[in-house]
């Protein structure tokens, strides 16, 4: 299923989140696993220059080098904020340079005649913007967990996953919704 390909770009983040514990060793393992997963499942996307996959590779490898090799363990308490800030910056940056990262995947899922239409590009700006919003919200949640560990620390990790799940559901649902919504209009214009 082609629409699931974009979701592969979020697997390294999920792997990191599941494996990273509170110890330096567990964070190093999680960063290493996220880096390896990025290369294994994203090899084709890396070759194609897909923004999200390259962002994951640079992000997780850089953090692995910082913590695992350079011993910069002082960043561990803010690791979640660093990850979400970087992903938000890449996401909104891709919109600013007029290559919203979802557009790279969506072009492979639609007819060639639709790829350059302004509406198609606007839809992908919206979808990429939704992901940017999710990353910003998760950054804020991680900040509250860091700043108020006793009152917000326990609730924020599940909330960040709920926002990621909501983004995944939206990414799967929205293109199909648009196809159903505009299919009658397309059929009318063909007659």
Least confident of 62-71, 75-84, 119-128, 147-156: 147-156
Mean pLDDT of the chain: 88
Boundaries of every domain in the chain: 2-186
Q: What is the pLDDT of residues 7-42, one digit of tens each?
A: 788 899 999 999 998 899 999 999 999 999 999 999
Structure tokens at 47: 């070759």
Q: Which residue has the higher pLDDT, 153 or 20?
A: 20
What value does the mean pLDDT take over residues 163-180? Answer: 88
pLDDT at residue 190 is higher than 50: no
DSSP-derived secondary structure letter, 65: I
Report the distance separating Cα 85 and Cα 27, nearest Å.
Answer: 18
| Mean pLDDT confidence for 180-191 | 58
d(Cα 191, Cα 188) in Å, to the nearest integer? 5
pLDDT for 1 equals: 44
Determine the pLDDT at residue 191.
45
Q: What are all long-range contacts of 39-48, with beta carbons under 8 Å and residues at least 24 apart?
A: 41/8, 41/11, 42/8, 42/9, 42/12, 45/5, 45/8, 45/9, 48/104
Nearest to residue 60, comparing CAs of 31, 98, 88?
31
* CA–CA dist 166, 96 (Å, integer): 24
Asked if pLDDT for residue 82 goes beyond 70, the answer is yes
Provide the whole-model pTM: 0.87
Distance (Å, rounded) from C-alpha 66 to C-alpha 75? 9
Tens of pLDDT along 100-129? 999 888 887 777 777 778 888 899 999 999
DSSP per-residue letters across 135-184? HHHHHHHHHHHHH-TTTTTTTHHHHHHHHHHHHHHHHHHHHHHHHHHHHH
Q: How far apart are CA 118 and CA 83, in angstroms?
A: 31
Contact 132, 94 (CB under 8 A): no
**DSSP secondary structure string, 125-143?**
HHHHHHHHHHHHHHHHHHH
């Amino acid at each position: 299923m082609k629409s699931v390909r974009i979701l592969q770009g979020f697997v390294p983040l999920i792997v990191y989140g599941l494996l990273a514990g509170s110890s330096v060793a567990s964070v190093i393992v999680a960063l290493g696993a996220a880096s390896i997963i990025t290369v294994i499942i994203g090899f084709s996307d890396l070759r194609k220059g897909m923004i999200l996959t390259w962002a994951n590779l640079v992000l997780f490898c850089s953090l692995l080098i910082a913590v695992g090799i350079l011993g910069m363990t002082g960043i561990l308490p803010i690791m979640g904020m660093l990850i979400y800030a970087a992903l938000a910056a890449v996401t909104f940056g891709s919109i600013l340079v007029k290559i919203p990262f979802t557009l790279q995947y969506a072009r492979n899922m639609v007819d060639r005649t639709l790829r350059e239409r302004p509406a198609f590009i606007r839809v992908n700006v919206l979808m990429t913007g939704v992901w940017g919003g999710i990353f910003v919200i998760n950054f804020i949640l991680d900040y509250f967990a860091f700043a108020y560990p006793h009152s917000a620390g326990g609730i924020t990790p599940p909330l960040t996953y709920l926002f990621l799940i909501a983004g995944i559901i939206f990414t799967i649902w929205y293109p199909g919704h648009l196809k159903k919504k505009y299919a009658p209009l397309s059929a009318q214009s063909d007659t």
